[in-house]
Amino acid sequence: MRTPGGSGGVPLAAVPRWSQVPAAPVTDYTGTAPPLHAYPVFPYDDAINSRFAIWQGDISQLEVDAITNTSDETLSEYNDVSERIMAGAGPDLKEEIITRALECRTGEVLVTSGYNLRCRHIIHTVSPKYVAKYHTAAESSLHNCYKNVLHKAGELNARSLALCVINTPRRNFPPDLAAHVALRAVRRYLSSTAAPRLVVLGGACGPELAPLSALAPLYFPRDSREADAARWLLRDPDPHHERRIRIIHNPHTHTQPDDDTSLDDELAVEAAAAFARACSPDTQRLLPAASPAPHARRTQIHSDEYERLLRRARSEDLSEVSGIGCLYQSGVDRLGRPVVIFIGKWFPIADIDLDKALLYLIKLLDPIVRGDYVIAYFHTLASSANHPPFSWLKEVYTVLPYKYKKNLKAFYIVHPTFWTKMMTWWFTTFMAPAIKAKVHNLPGVEYLYSVMHARQLDLPAFVTEYDMTINGLHYFQPDTNNT
């Protein structure tokens, strides 16, 4: 391995392998709904787990054969990963990119020397942007990024690869969806090669790696119990491996061709991209305008109002609301979905500007609700002084776009009172029916442990202290069989 000048590198011996990370307690799903798969899709394999690691830190400091850089097509994008790599590699890397006019297409890879970094190669790739309307193409393209990086590392005979989280925040990928794509690609690659290669999935911040750590047991089970539990949790084990597009030679006949013609994932992405270009705004301007229906006009009005509020939320000073600490993201659940915590006791209705509270809500949730998410509301020791007026709740529910309701998978109310249950029933029945089936009243914190690990919940001390007083030993030994 190349060892450039300088010190402070991180040796691979300091990176714990996934096989060395203890398995977490596993929920027993037997006796509940039937499993989604008859057998574990990704069986327990300690040899594969010893060649995989999830590591929090600066991957440009790892002493590996190759590292991954995520950038744009001209390799000039600045993000947390690329800035560290460009700074560590020195001016020679930037000079090569400029003088050779290097470019890399979305989903593909390009290799340069590591220069002053502690690696021999830098494998550059470009993540697609996520647009919900074309989510299939975006997922396939991101899958190609990981697949091409891994196979290029193999062609370079790299025995160790530091693999960054390729989808940067500006690409808008839902974190849990992107984590599934990354873990699936790595597991498939390590299962297909017997070479003693080590793949380190690394990131500089905890929130970036939280979905990966939460979902890794589905693809890299550390014992037979985790492999078996994945049969209930892993819905689509390998969509990119099986997905194909069939081309019928004559679209006006129902006669099937003699042999099916299929495109692989790369061509599927190109076809979707061509369709997206055909439906670009420039093309749409050439089409005759149609009069929108009344419902469409109302939807457009609400969309315009939300965009206006989003711009305000990004530009105004909301520190007086954020400083209260009543609303924040706290880890992920067992399916890798972000968990949003709301502490009712800390929501001072009389002393807070509700307009700014709405702006802060939008600022916090807008990047989260692009994918599935859950909310846990703690009514612990809350009083009438913490109950928001129904007029404000109705305004919030009306102005938030459909993605907030659609991608909300569960709304847990912990320590509800009789008044809370009644008001929740009334509100979800007459004002918010779209989320009625997603609301769950839980008498204690321990009932959350079947859907999210305790260490993912960052709760105020008074919540856990109150929970211990009413639930006693159940707090320490929760019984979630009936949850």
**Residue 390 is part of a domain; what is its CATH number?**
3.40.525.10
| Last residue within a domain, chosen from 241, 256, 277 | 241
pLDDT band at 242 (very low <50, low <70, confident <90, very high): very low
- Pair (214, 361) in one structural domain: no
Please say if the pLDDT value at position 222 is more than 90: yes
Q: Same domain, yes or no, for 232 and 377? A: no
What does the block give as tokens for 480? 């979630």
Average pLDDT, the chain: 82
Length of the chain: 483
Q: Is the pLDDT of residue 5 over 50?
A: no
Are 200 and 349 contained in the same domain? Answer: no
Least confident of 55-59, 165-169, 391-395, 401-405: 391-395
Rounded Cα distance between 45 and 53, Å, is 14
Which residues span the domain enclosing 95? 12-241
Terminal-residue alpha carbon distance, the chain? 52
- Looking at the domain assignment, is residue 482 inside a domain? no
Evaluate if residue 4 carries a pLDDT over 60: no
Burial of 238 (0-12, 13-18, 19+ CB in 10 A): middle
Could you give the CA distance from residue 404 to residue 303 in angstroms, rounded to a whole number? 12
Poorest-pLDDT segment among 94-103, 276-285, 361-370, 456-465? 276-285
Q: Is the pLDDT of residue 253 over 80?
A: no
- Residue at 276 is within a domain: no
Residue 264 lies in a domain: no
So what's the pLDDT on residue 478? Answer: 47
What does the pLDDT average to over 144-149? 95
Whether residue 87 is found in the same domain as residue 227: yes
The pLDDT confidence band at residue 250, using thresholds 50, 70 and 90, is: very low
pLDDT tens per residue across span 15-63: 999 999 998 888 887 777 888 888 999 999 999 999 999 999 999 999 9
Given this model, what pLDDT does residue 449 score?
86
Q: Is residue 246 situated within a structural domain?
A: no
Cα–Cα dist 393/405, whole Å: 14
Domains of the chain: total: 2
Q: Are residues 40 and 130 in the same domain?
A: yes
Asked whether 214 and 374 are in contact (CB, 8 A), the reply is no
CATH number, residue 81: 3.40.220.10
Q: DSSP class of residue 416?
A: -
Residue 171 lies in a domain: yes
- Strands across the sheet with 327-332, in order? 327-332, 338-343, 373-378, 408-414, 439-442
Same domain, 205 and 321: no
- For the chain, give the percent of residues with pLDDT over 70: 81
If asked whether residues 222 and 303 sit together in one domain, one would say no
pLDDT of 283 over the 60 cut: no
Confidence of residue 293 (pLDDT cuts 50, 70, 90): low
| Structural domain ending residue among the three candidates 225, 241, 257 | 241
Q: What is residue 272's predicted lDDT score, i.e. its pLDDT?
A: 46
**Looking at residue 208, what is its pLDDT?**
77
365 located within any domain: yes
| Cβ count near 413 (within 10 Å) | 20
Confidence of residue 305 (pLDDT cuts 50, 70, 90): confident
- Our CA angle for 139, 185, 264, nearest 5°, is 60
pLDDT confidence of residue 398: 87
Same domain, 219 and 314: no
Asked whether residue 161 falls in the same domain as residue 81, the answer is yes
Note the pLDDT of residue 356.
92
- Reported as a single tens digit per residue, the pLDDT across 429-483 is 877 888 888 999 999 998 898 888 888 888 999 998 888 888 765 544 444 444 4
Assigned domain for 200 exists: yes
From 451, 2, 58, select the one nearest 233 (Cα to Cα). Answer: 451
Q: Same domain for 90 and 168? A: yes
| Residue 296 clears pLDDT 60, i.e. is over it | no
* 311 lies in the same domain as 437: yes
Q: Which of 172, 206, 241 corresponds to the end of one domain?
A: 241
On the question of pLDDT at 239 being above 70, the answer is no
442 in the same domain as 350: yes
The answer to the question of residue 4 being in a domain is: no
Least-confidence region, from 74-78, 189-193, 307-311, 479-483: 479-483
